[in-house]
Copies of this chain bind each other. A is one copy, B any other.
Amino acid sequence: MSEFTIRAAVVGDVPVILELIRGLAEYERAPDQVVCDEARLRESLFGAQPDAEVLLACVGDRAAGFAVFFHNYSTWWGRRGIYLEDLFVRPEMRGRGIGKGLLQAVARIARDRECARIEWSVLDWNQPAIDFYRSLGAVAKDEWTIYRINRPEIEKLAGTD
């Protein structure tokens, strides 16, 4: 029997979701970059048009980890995929297969929704994660780099005629 259960998060989970987001940001060495609050999460995840979906892994009543994902799209396949934005297990809850359990749950959703693929991003120094993902058959898209523009550059670009 499994030591943990996985379920879709509900609006009452917002405080613990924010706690897990902060836990992951700390692990990623960027704790100051979490600027959202509970109201923003409630609106974006549980409003009329949710922007992403959240799975919670629980040990008893306690949330031990989470997965946050949304659908992306492949023009090569003409089909949606899943982009896994966050996958995190509290440090003291590791070693019980919870991370793999969350990924399996995401894979079942991807299978049931006929998705072309699952993608996610990994920090280059996070060797334990890289080893884990490779063991599941994941392939690194080494030849691609993600570029980003933030709000100030968006405003500037949008305002140019």
Contact = CB atoms under 8 A, between A and B. Distances in A.
A144 B123 contact: yes
Contacts of A104: 157-158, 160
Interface string A130-141: 000100111111
Interface of A: 21, 24-25, 30, 33-37, 40-41, 43-45, 51-52, 68, 70-80, 83, 85-86, 103-104, 107-108, 110-111, 115-125, 133, 136-158, 160
Contact of A75 (B21, B76, B145, B156): B21
Secondary structure dominating the interface of A = mixed
A74 B78 contact: no
A143 B124 contact: yes
A153 B141 contact: no
Contacts of A153: 136-138
A133 B137 CA distance: 32
A157 B145 contact: no
